[in-house]
Chains A and B, each alone.
With several copies, the nearest count.
Chain A
Amino acid sequence: MRYTPDELMTVAAARCVGNDDVCFVGIGLPSAACNLARLTHAPEITLIYESGTIGARPSVLPLSIGDGELCATALTTVPVPEFFRYWLQSGRITAGFLGAAQIDRFANINTTVVGAYDAPVVRLPGAGGAPEMAAACQRTFIVMPQSRRAFVERLDFLTSLGHGDGGDHRARLGITTAGPAKVITDLCVMEPDPQTRELTVTSLHPGTARADVESATGWTVRFAPDVGDTPAPTAHELEVLRRVRLDTDKAHEGREPACPTR
C-alpha cells in the first residue's frame, strides 16, 4: 500500500506509545498519531489535551485543542490551571509530542520566532504548553519534516529545552524527566546518543539514503553504528488513519456556509 511522508510520520509516532501511556496531545500530526494509536494497538491509552480534557476519545480529529468533541468524549474536563498544576507539572504525563519550526542537534526547539526576537523575520505562534511539556512529560517525541531551514546549527530562540548542551545538562538543571526520546522526520528517526545526547539517526525510512538526511540537516549529522529501516505503515494502520482523516474533513466542512466573506 502506498503512503505519503506525512502518513509514515504519523504511523511512526503512533507506534511510540502504548496502552499504559498518558499522552499530552497537541493539535495536528500529534493528535492524529495519538488517536491512531488508540484506534489500533493501544485502545486503553489516555489522551489529554491542554484544554483540560482528560481521557478524550474523539471520533473525528479536533481542529483545535478545545473542540467540543474532546470535552464530550472525555472522562472529565478540568480547568486549565489545574491541568498544568496537578496533571502536567506533577509528572503524571508519560508521553508528549512536540513539533517545531527549528530544532538543534540536542533536540532543543524553537516555536517562537525566526530572526531576532525584537525584529522578527517570521513571528511564530510562541510557546503554548511546550516548555513545561518538554520539562514535565516523562518522555517527549518530536515530529517534524526535515530540512536545513528547520534542522539548524543554532536556534534563533530556545523555546523548549531538549537535552540542552548535551550530556547530563538536563539533570544538572534539576530536571528529572528523560526529555526527547525520538525525533521523527519525513526521512528518518533520530534518537539521542546515550552519552552525548546528540541526535543520531537510528533508522532510515524506506527509500531514504544517508545523503538525503545529510543534505537536509544543518549540522554534520551522526548515524548510529547499526542504522535500521523504519518499518513501513501496515495496511490496517493506513486504513484507520485515512478513515479518521476523511471523517474529520467531512466534519470540518462545517454545518453552515463557511466564513461569510462574499
Chain B
Amino acid sequence: MEGFTHLIPFAAAHEVIRQGRRDLTLVRMTPDLIYDQMIGAGCAAKLVFSWGGNPGVGSLHRLRDAVEHGWPRPLALEEYSHAAMANAYDAGAARLPFAPFRGCPGDLARVNPNYRSVTCPFTGEAITAVPAMRPDVTIVHAQRADRQGNVMIEGITGVQKEAVLAAARAIVTVEEVVDTFDGGPVNSCILPHWTIGAIAVVPGGAFPSYAYGYYQRNNAFYLAWDGVSRSRDAFGAWIDEHVMQSGPDAFAVHAAQVA
C-alpha cells in the first residue's frame, strides 16, 4: 500500500482491517498512520519499511508498541533506507532481480541481510545492491480512472507507479471516474488498464492524507492521532467506531468538505 504522504489509500486499509486479515507482510516506505492502524489492529506479521514516524509530529505509537512490546503481536522488521526501497521498487517494475545504488556505510547493512554488493564490471567499484521489490498485491489511491479503466495520478507520485508495476496484482481506489483523459497533459503519469486488476471508486478514500486537486491533507488529524494512538484503549475505541462500525462511504464527507 504505497502513496508517499500523498494519496495514501486509507479507505482500502480500513476495509482490510474490517475483513480481519491477519499475518500480512506490509510493505511501505513510510508506514504513516495507515500502517499504524493496521499494525495496531493486528493485521501485520512483518513490516518492510524505511521511515516509520508520524511526519512532523513524532512516533507511530502502535508501530512502537508492536516493536517494543509485541502488542498486539510481535512484528518482524525488514528495514531499508528510502533510497534502497525506491530503487528496489524501480527494479521490481523493470523486472530486474536486483537494484544497484550508491549506499551509505552503516549498521542497516548489518541488521538486514538483503544489503549486498555487486562489483562494477568496468570500474571495479563495489556498489550496494538490494533485491527487487515484488509485492503480491499493491494497493494505491489515485485521483481518477477513465471508463476504460486507465488510472491517472497527479502531483506527488511517489513510488505508486513503480509499486503497481512491480506487483503481481494491483488494486486502485480512485476519487472519481471520468469519460476520458484526452486533452490532459501528454506526459501524465497514467497506468494503462491492463496493468491494474481492480478499481474501486471511493471519494475521499485518501483522508486524512490528500488527493491533489481534490482535497487537502488534514494536518490536524495527523496532530490529533498522536493522542489517540498513545493508548491501546483509545486506539481500540477509535478503530471500533471509525473502522469496524463504519464503511467506505464514510470517506465521502472528506472529499466533499474541502473540494
Contact = CB atoms under 8 A, between A and B. Distances in A.
Contact of A51 (B158, B189, B222, B238): B158
B178 to A, nearest CB: 13
B51 A27 contact: no
Contact of A71 (B29, B30, B101, B155): B155
Nearest to A254: B220
B187 interface: yes
Interface stretch (B17-25, B59-67, B136-144): B59-67
A40 interface: no
A157 interface: yes
Contacts of B155: 68, 71, 77
A62 interface: yes
A254 B51 contact: no
A127 interface: yes
Interface string A27-54: 1100000000000000000100011111
Interface string A93-117: 0000000000000001000100001
A5 interface: no
B209 to A, nearest CB: 8
A63 B63 CA distance: 20
Contacts of A126: 49-53, 79
A125 interface: yes
B55 to A, nearest CB: 4
A160 B83 CA distance: 13
A90 B93 contact: yes
A127 B82 contact: yes
B82 A80 contact: yes
Q: Which of B52, B55, B63, B159 has the most CB of A within 10 A?
A: B55
A83 B64 CA distance: 29
B251 to A, nearest CB: 12
B175 interface: no
B219 A159 contact: no
A89 B52 contact: no
B174 to A, nearest CB: 16
Interface in A205-262: 251-256, 258-262
B111 interface: yes
B156 A77 contact: yes
B183 to A, nearest CB: 11
A83 to B, nearest CB: 8
Contacts of A72: 186, 212
A92 B161 CA distance: 14
Interface residues of A, number: 76
B68 interface: yes
A62 B222 CA distance: 12
Interface string B172-201: 000000000100001111101011000000
A142 interface: no
B107 A66 contact: no
Interface in B115-149: 125-126
Contacts of A260: 242
Interface string A49-76: 0111111000000111111101110111
B55 A65 contact: yes
A97 B101 CA distance: 22
Contacts of B94: 85-86, 89-90
A85 B68 CA distance: 34
B113 interface: no
Contact of A64 (B5, B103, B225): B5
Contacts of B156: 51-53, 66, 68, 70-71, 77
Contacts of B258: 255-256
Contacts of B194: 20, 22, 46, 92
17 contacts: A51-B5, A68-B212, A71-B6, A76-B188, A84-B87, A89-B95, A90-B94, A91-B95, A131-B83, A131-B103, A136-B102, A159-B108, A160-B104, A252-B220, A256-B218, A258-B221, A261-B227
Interface of B: 4-6, 29-30, 49-53, 55-57, 59-60, 63-64, 67-68, 79-83, 86-87, 89-90, 93-96, 101-108, 111, 125-126, 150, 155-159, 161-162, 165, 181, 186-190, 192, 194-195, 208, 210, 212, 216-225, 227-228, 234, 238, 241-242, 254, 257-258
Given A132-B81, A135-B104, A255-B216, 8 more contacts: A22-B194, A53-B156, A68-B155, A75-B181, A79-B189, A91-B95, A132-B82, A174-B125
Interface of A: 20, 22, 27-28, 46, 50-55, 62-68, 70-72, 74-81, 83-86, 88-92, 108, 112, 117, 120-132, 134-136, 157-161, 164, 173-174, 251-256, 258-262
